[in-house]
Each structure stands twice: as C-alpha cells, then as structure tokens.
Amino acid sequence: MSKTILVTGGAGFIGSAVVRHLINDTDHTVVNLDKLTYAGNLESLTSVSDSDRYSFEQVDICDAEEVKRVFNTHKPDIIMHLAAESHVDRSIDGPGEFIQTNVVGTYTLLEQARAYWSALEGDKKAGFKFHHISTDEVYGDLPHPDEVEPGTELPLFTETTPYAPSSPYSASKASSDQLVRSWLRTYKLPTLVTNCSNNYGPYHFPEKLIPLVILNALAGKPLPVYGKGNQIRDWLYVEDHARALVVVALNGEIGETYNIGGHNEKQNIEVVQTICSILDEVKPKDSKYADQITYVQDRPGHDMRYAIDASKIERELGWKPQETFESGIRKTVEWYLANEGWWKAVLDGSYQGERLGSGS
Ligand SMILES: NC(=O)c1ccc[n+]([C@@H]2O[C@H](COP(=O)([O-])OP(=O)(O)OC[C@H]3O[C@@H](n4cnc5c(N)ncnc54)[C@H](O)[C@@H]3O)[C@@H](O)[C@H]2O)c1
C-alpha cells in the first residue's frame, strides 16, 4: 500500500538518494523536510521534483511549531530522519551546530512525532514508524591491521557493540541514537535505528574525501591525504544505502537496530590511488594524477578503522549491496566528469576546497 514518507534532510547527499529512489522505484509519496544548510541542495532533486508524489518544506528540525505544522499538513505514515550536521571536520571547528541540530533537533522531532502519533487512530497509528538514520562512527575505533599480530582476526561493529564516539560529530549522533531508543522505551514511540558505514557516490558535497580528491585531481591541485593515509573505512555506494534504508523503513522490526555496510574495507590512500588510476584511464593527461598526492597533518582524534558486520540486515530483511567498491567508485568518477554543472555551482558557493578540522 502506498504510504506518505517524510524524509528529513532530503536535500542532502544520502537524503536526496533516498528521495530519488522512493520517487523513481516505488509508488510512495515523499515529503522532503530540509532547512537547506550549506549541505542541502535542491539541484540534487531536479530529476524527481516535478513528480506529484513529491513535495518540499523548507523547515529547521529545531523549530517545533513548523515541524508540527508539517506533520499535521502531510500526515506521514513513516518518518525517515536523516537531517544532521554530518562532517567530522566541521564538528571539530564548530561543535555547537552539531549539538543543536543532531541532539536538540532530534529531540524536537521526537517530541513532535510523539504528539502527532499519539493523536492518530486505528491502522494509521498501528503502522506509524520513526526511522532514525545514524552512523557507524558512534562505535568509535576498531583495531587496525598495522597494530595487531599478522593473521589476527579483526573484529567488526555489530548491533551490540558498545558506543564509544570520538568526535563531536559522532558524540552528537550517539546522543541522538540514545534519545530515539529512550523515546521507544519510555513513550513506546515505534522507532528503528540504522547505523551505516561511509557512503560515496553522486551528489556528494565536495568537502568529503572522495569528491574532494576527484575535483582536486581534475583541477591539478594537491590531493590531501591525512596522516599516513592508512585509516580504514568500509565504503558503501550511496544508492545501496538508500535501498537499505527504504527496506528498513518499510519492513524493519520496531525497536531493532540494523547495521548497514558494504564489506569494502579500504585504506584512505588506496581510495585515493584508485581514483587516480581511473582518471588516468578515462581522462589521461601528461602526468599521473597520483603525482598530486600530498600528505597533510592528520585530523585530531582520527579513528583508525571502521568496519561493519551487515549480516543482520542481509539475513532478516534480504538486503545486499549491489555495487562493489570497484564498480561504485568508477560510476562515481564518471558521474563527476559528466555533471560539472552540479559541482561547479556548489564550488561557487560557500566551500572552495579549503582544509577543515585541522584543530588549529
Ligand atoms: N555521509 C555518510 O557517509 C554517512 C554515513 C552514515 C550515516 N550518515 C548519516 O546520514 C544522514 C545524512 O548524511 P548526509 O551525508 O546525507 O549529510 P549531508 O550533510 O549531505 O545532508 C544533511 C542534510 O540535512 C539538512 N539539515 C541540516 N541541518 C538541518 C536542520 N536543522 N533542519 C533541517 N534540515 C537540516 C541539510 O540541509 C542537508 O540537506 C546523517 O544523519 C548522517 O549522520 C552519513
């Protein structure tokens, strides 16, 4: 049955992939609630914004009255909550905004969702779900292969790994996850939580590692690699994440947490070298793109390794990533080459590729 799904942060990187997937591949109606911070971009939604199943509300999740108005106007069946300040480096430079949006904003949304849900009746009330979208960064750091005896089996994050966030960003997300769980336990608000690994793909704001490297490489600029570049992340193509989120929102069990990951553990330096070799092939020039790699001072408090055990969502909900890292990263590089208009407009705005979060 067709549902009305309210997506917060639907103009962001992952939110826009969720909205495009819902409009293109399902018959659900989407309400995109987004404040349009520096990270929100309606240009990422031009392919679906004409649909009569799509509407947009420019609202701050911290504004209780406006959130209430949107709930009462659109009467959502499901909330998918992605709106957040999302960049670790920015959280080091200015943590206040992260506490405001990620903690106070999530609290405001939970309270308004509770008031709205309490007043629902019958099937509409019984079917209501609040899906909170979070990150694997809440679990902190895992042992790195460089730190253990060769052959040692390395642990993965599971749904029961204790929280140990390292940055203001991950601490604010951890707080919001705990608020969501407590609203379930205390008020019985029907919530679900997902924790996902690092995403990459089209429409990614150019301050994050992968788009920054692609665009700096094309511009002939240095390709900044933090520290030794041996930090490990578990990369997931954004459209695989969007599919997983919709599967959880529709079919996940209330009260459960699902970890989402791509089984693609890569050192940052490997990611940068892979991008360089794809560019050498698809957009060759006189020198190798890898010659532009420059090692810079590491991020303070940088976690060394994240890796997700995604077996629960695979087993219980039948989701699996469709892209390997190799296929996804090639698609991503090709997307940036074909969509200069999108990223040039972003680079003409508030961010021109400068270093963030050095802690100095
Ligand atoms: N990017 C990743 O690799 C990753 C991985 C796992 C989980 N997550 C989580 O997924 C969610 C989306 O991440 P993303 O990378 O798409 O982030 P993003 O920064 O690209 O987008 C965030 C969106 O939220 C909006 N927003 C910010 N503050 C708001 C507010 N106060 N009110 C309403 N809207 C507001 C922004 O305008 C933007 O459109 C976040 O909750 C993040 O913690 C991200």
Residue 351 has pLDDT above 70, yes or no: no
Please tell me the least confidently modeled range out of 13-22, 113-122, 351-360.
351-360
Q: Which of 13, 101, 172, 238 to mutate to test the pocket of ligand 1 (most atoms within 8 A of CB)?
A: 13
pLDDT digit string, tens, across residues 186-214: 999 999 999 999 999 999 999 889 999 99
Give the residue-averaged pLDDT of 34-48.
97
Which residues make Cβ contacts (< 8 Å) with residue 352, sequence separation at least 6?
none
Q: Is 82 in the pocket of ligand 1 (CB under 6 A)?
A: yes
Residue 357 has pLDDT above 80, yes or no: no
List the strands of the sheet with 54-58, edge to edge. Answer: 54-58, 29-34, 4-8, 78-81, 129-135, 191-196, 257-260
Parallel, antiparallel, or unpaired for β 265-267 and 232-234? antiparallel
Parallel, antiparallel, or unpaired for β 4-8 and 29-34? parallel
For 42, how many CA atoms within 13 A lie in the half-sphere containing its CB?
12
Distance of CA 54 from the midpoint of ligand 1 (Å): 19
Q: Active site residue: 66, 137, 265, 323, which one?
A: 137
Atom of ligand 1 nearest to the CA of 86: 19
Backbone angles phi, psi at 317, to 5 degrees: -120, 0
pTM for the structure as a whole: 0.96
Q: Among this protein's residues, is 334 annotated catalytic?
A: no
How far apart are alpha carbons 179 and 173 in whole angstroms?
10
Q: Is 242 in the pocket of ligand 1 (CB under 6 A)?
A: no
pLDDT digit string, tens, across residues 283-314: 999 999 999 999 998 888 788 999 999 999 99
For atom 30 of ligand 1, the residue with the nearest CA is 60
Distance of CA 39 from the midpoint of ligand 1 (Å): 8
pLDDT digit string, tens, across residues 130-154: 999 999 999 999 999 988 998 899 9
Q: Active site residue: 107, 169, 258, 289, which one?
A: 169
How far apart are alpha carbons 21 and 243 in whole angstroms?
7
Q: Is 261 in the pocket of ligand 1 (CB under 6 A)?
A: no
> For the domain 4-201+238-261+306-323, what is the CATH code?
3.40.50.720
Q: Among this protein's residues, is 85 annotated catalytic?
A: no
Atom of ligand 1 nearest to the CA of 38: 37
Q: Among this protein's residues, is 258 annotated catalytic?
A: no
How far apart are alpha carbons 233 and 175 in whole angstroms?
22
How far apart are alpha carbons 43 and 3 in whole angstroms?
25
In this structure, the number of other CB atoms found within 10 A of the CB of residue 316 comes to: 15
